[in-house]
Amino acid sequence: MVLILKDFSTGYWKNEVIKKINFELRQNEWIGIIGANGSGKSTLLKGVLKFIPTLNGDVFFADNPIKNFSRNKLSKKIAYLPQKLNNNLNITVKDLISLGRSPYKNFWNFDLSQEDLKIIDETIQIMDLDELKNKFINELSGGQSQRAFLAMTIAQNTNILLLDEPTTFLDINYQIKFLESLKNLIQIKKLSIITVLHDVNLAARFCDRIAILKEGKLIDINTPEKVINKINFMKGFEIDSHIIDTPVGIQIFPVSKIRN
């Protein structure tokens, strides 16, 4: 296991949003986090990253509690792509990717080493950004920009990626391409990934396991075939649904909201 949550609770001040969650992230595994608005998906990621306080339990990286990690040390282990990105940056794609090396630099000296340059160039190739590397971020399409920001997190050279709704502002074509690139990265870079996703069917298609949150509690976590069922979706989303097994995996179609 590369990341373990044990009775983990987190929130804002003393307001417990995530409530005693237990699960583990395995090597080369992709977990998708789904749930209704306000279920605590983004808060869970922020808690793991220590952006907000731990209120109970702990998170362990390679059996070491992350509460003992400095911000800099943690950023060498876990990279994070937030939901809201600044697509109006007046810097080149390559310069953006180079910012991924920040955890390895001193505040007063950001000179890139040969090792940094090698990692940046490798990342550009892996993410197929060679033709865009000298373009400015504010010149790119939404899909291209999202790929550039993902490349920045890859350049951190961490074991784990936490991604908060990375496909929200992309059309379906770019959503598929973006998620396919993540699947490839798991194999190429031996990464483990946790992704918050709104599209349940995309989560089912790409993720190894899916976790459903409801009001800060973990309803279920398992493979898509075992998690995606009518009972879980009544609990998690308060909707009735039809479940269909397709050539690309199990898919869910909402029918109606449950009436009290």
Q: What percent of the chain has pLDDT over 70?
A: 98
In sequence order, the 6+-apart residues with CB closer than 8 A to the CB of 21 are 5, 7, 8, 9, 44, 57, 217, 218
Nearest alpha-carbon partner for 211 in 34, 74, 18, 78: 34
pLDDT tens for each residue of 129-163: 999 999 999 999 988 999 999 999 999 999 999 99
Question: Helix, strand, coil proportions of the chain in percent (round to 5)?
Answer: 35, 30, 30
In sequence order, the 6+-apart residues with CB closer than 8 A to the CB of 137 are 86, 87, 88, 89, 90, 91, 92, 93, 96, 145, 148
Q: With bands split at pLDDT 50, 70 and 90, how would you rate the model's confidence at 260?
A: low
Mean pLDDT of 5-15: 93
- pLDDT at 35 (0 to 100): 96
Q: Is position 258 within any domain?
A: no
Taking the CB of residue 32, how many other CB atoms lie within 10 A of it?
A: 27
Q: Is position 133 within any domain?
A: yes
* Measured distance CA(40)–CA(198) in Å, rounded: 13
Residue 75 has pLDDT above 60, yes or no: yes
Mean pLDDT of 228-255: 89
Q: Is position 122 within any domain?
A: yes
CATH number at residue 179: 3.40.50.300
Q: Is position 237 within any domain?
A: no
Dihedral angle of Cα 181, 62, 59, 194, to the nearest 10 degrees: 10
Residue 258 has pLDDT above 60, yes or no: no
Q: Is position 212 within any domain?
A: yes
Nearest alpha-carbon partner for 204 in 187, 227, 186: 227
pLDDT tens for each residue of 178-207: 999 999 999 999 999 999 999 999 999 999
Residue 251 has pLDDT above 90, yes or no: no
Q: Is position 25 within any domain?
A: yes
Helical (H) or strand (E) element with 74: helix 71-75
**Which residues does residue 213 pair with via DSSP β-bridges, in sequence order?**
35, 218
What range does the domain containing 213 cover?
A: 3-224
Number of domains forming the structure of the chain:
1
Residue 259 has pLDDT above 80, yes or no: no
Q: Is position 245 within any domain?
A: no
